[in-house]
Structure formats: C-alpha cells, structure tokens
C-alpha cells in the first residue's frame, strides 16, 4: 500500500498534459503530442474556425496534394463541439478519394478494412467532434498510443485563453503543460509560472523523411500517409518514439 501511494504521488508530481482542439485525420505531429503526455484533452469548447484543421486535412495523390474537407454548417461564434456536418455522404466521398490515392501504397491493404469500416461508422455521426474523436482514437490504437483522451466539456471552464488552460491543468493535477509551438503567440507564460506548472513547447522540426508515394516529399499531410506508406514501421518516423514520451518530468523546451 505504501509503495502504491508513493507511485500515485510520483505520478501526480510528474503528470504532463496537452490541451488541443480536435482535428480531422491530423498530421503526425498531432499524434506525437498525444504520445508525449499522460492526458490529452480535446478542447472542443473552443470556437470553430473556418478553413482550419478542424474539418479538413491534406493527402497525397498522383495528381498532387488533395484536400479532404468535411462539409459543415457554420455560423459565427459556434463551438467546435456544436459544429454539425452538412452533407451525410461526405464519408463515402472521402473514402473513395483516400483509397484511390493510396491504392499503390505498400501497406494500404493492411489497414484498408479498418479505415473503410471507420468511414462507414462515421457516416452515422452528425457532429464533427465525434467524427474527429473516432479517427483520433482508432489511429492511436494503430500506432500503439495509450494516452488517456478526455474532453474539455467534462471540466469546469473559466474565462480567458491562458487562464482556462492553467485552470484545466490544475483540475487535471498536472505538473507540466506541453503545448504546440504556435501557442507561443498568445500564451501568457507567467500564469503557468504563478501556478507552479511547467510550460514546455513541442519541437516539430527535424522529422525524418520516409518512403512516400508521389515526390517531392511533403511532411505536412495527414498521418494516414505515414501509416499507408510505412505500416508497422510508422512509429520509427515519429519523434515520440525517440524520447518524447511523458514517462517522467523533464525541463526545457521540446
């Protein structure tokens, strides 16, 4: 019992979290961030932004980069969690485009049934958040990522962008908050310092290239590109498999 109690206290002192909006079939960096923390919070109580990654992403095809966009109803000020899909046939269109683009990928057939079934399942979902969650969870399972994923709506939320993040970290018992690099533009670092929560930023530079169809190489595509092209070796091309895993507290930026 004493050993178990010490382990729980150690886990609390070293808990690392990330808080980010859900994205549609995100790029590899998104999953590196998930894999680098103990708890990942889908911040879908944030406002939906048009022409962003919430409902679209990029894949590669023989004709170049293709955007896959989930059509949604949009009005100013709506939250991501309240965003409704406007065309119930989007899933069939996306699956057809994806299967055509990656038919020649070395490992496409390994995962074909998984993704085909996933797209069928998502056809019954009316909310964008639910679709994004289903894809994120399934892709985490494919990659062997076991991070606990929760929703911001399940916690008390305070006003203020940084203030809300800090308060969520408090509720989660976090010792460290790991953020994407773009958040440097708005995060008030002093609020994390005052709360005695370490603030760190993930570094997305220096990703290795992998065997990719249709050159030139492009890092900024959906994770499905990495999965279909490298299969079980996908983790070797991700940073979290090389020491970013949140097994213990560490200092400095990432």
**Residue pLDDT tens, the chain, 254 long:** 444 444 344 445 689 999 999 999 999 999 999 999 999 999 999 999 999 999 999 999 999 999 999 999 999 999 999 999 999 999 999 999 999 999 999 999 999 999 999 999 999 999 999 999 999 999 999 999 999 999 999 999 999 999 999 999 999 999 999 999 999 999 999 999 999 999 999 999 999 999 999 999 999 999 999 999 999 999 999 988 654 443 333 333 32
Q: Largest Cα–Cα distance in the chain?
A: 61
Compute the distance between CA of residue 19 and CA of residue 33 in angstroms, rounded to an integer.
Answer: 10
What's the domain range around 90? 2-242
Residues 6+ apart with CB under 8 A from 227: 107, 111, 139, 142, 143, 234
Radius of gyration of the chain (CA): 19
Q: Decide: pTM greater than 0.85.
A: yes
Q: Is residue 118 part of a domain?
A: yes
Q: Is residue 250 part of a domain?
A: no
DSSP state of 80: G
In the structure encoding, which two tokens stand for residue 51, read together? 């022409």
3-state secondary structure of 67: strand
Residues 6+ apart with CB under 8 A from 212: 60, 218, 225, 229
Let me know: does 16 contact 42? Beta carbons within 8 Å: no
The pLDDT of residue 83 is 98
In the structure encoding, which two tokens stand for residue 126, read together? 């009316």
CA atoms within 13 A on the CB side of 117: 5
Q: Is residue 19 part of a domain?
A: yes
Domain count, the chain: 1
Let me know: does 189 contact 231? Beta carbons within 8 Å: no
Compute the distance between CA of residue 141 and CA of residue 145 in angstroms, rounded to an integer.
Answer: 6
Q: Is residue 200 part of a domain?
A: yes
CA distances from 241 to 34, 144, 206 (A): 12, 11, 14
Compute the distance between CA of residue 60 and CA of residue 6 in angstroms, rounded to an integer.
Answer: 49
The pLDDT of residue 55 is 98
3-state secondary structure of 68: strand
Q: Is residue 247 part of a domain?
A: no
The pLDDT of residue 251 is 37
Q: Is residue 178 part of a domain?
A: yes
The pLDDT of residue 240 is 80
In what order do the strands lie in the sheet containing 176-179? 148-151, 39-42, 16-20, 176-179, 198-201
Closest by CA position to 59, among listed 93, 102, 20, 2: 102
């Amino acid at each position: 019992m004493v050993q178990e109690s010490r382990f729980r206290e150690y886990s609390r002192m070293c808990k690392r979290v990330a808080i980010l909006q859900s994205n549609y079939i995100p790029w590899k960096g998104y999953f590196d961030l998930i894999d680098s923390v103990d708890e990942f919070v889908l911040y879908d109580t944030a406002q939906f932004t048009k022409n962003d990654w919430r409902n679209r992403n990029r894949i590669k095809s023989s004709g170049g980069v293709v955007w896959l966009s989930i059509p949604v109803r949009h009005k100013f000020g709506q939250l991501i969690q309240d965003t409704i899909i406007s065309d119930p046939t989007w899933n069939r269109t996306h699956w057809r485009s994806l299967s055509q683009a990656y038919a020649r990928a070395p490992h496409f057939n390994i995962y074909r049934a998984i993704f085909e079934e996933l797209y069928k399942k998502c056809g019954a979902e009316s909310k964008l958040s639910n679709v994004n969650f289903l894809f994120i969870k399934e892709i985490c399972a494919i990659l062997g990522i076991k991070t606990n994923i929760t929703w911001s709506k399940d916690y008390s939320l305070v006003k203020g962008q940084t203030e809300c993040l800090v308060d969520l970290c408090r509720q989660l018992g976090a010792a460290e908050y790991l953020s994407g690099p773009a958040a440097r533009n708005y995060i008030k670092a002093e609020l994390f310092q005052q709360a005695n929560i370490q603030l760190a930023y993930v570094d997305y530079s220096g990703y290795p290239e992998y065997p990719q169809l249709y050159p030139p190489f492009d890092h900024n595509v959906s994770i499905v590109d990495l999965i279909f092209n490298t299969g079980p070796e996908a983790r070797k091309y991700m940073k979290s498999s090389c020491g970013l895993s949140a097994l213990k507290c560490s200092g400095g930026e990432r």
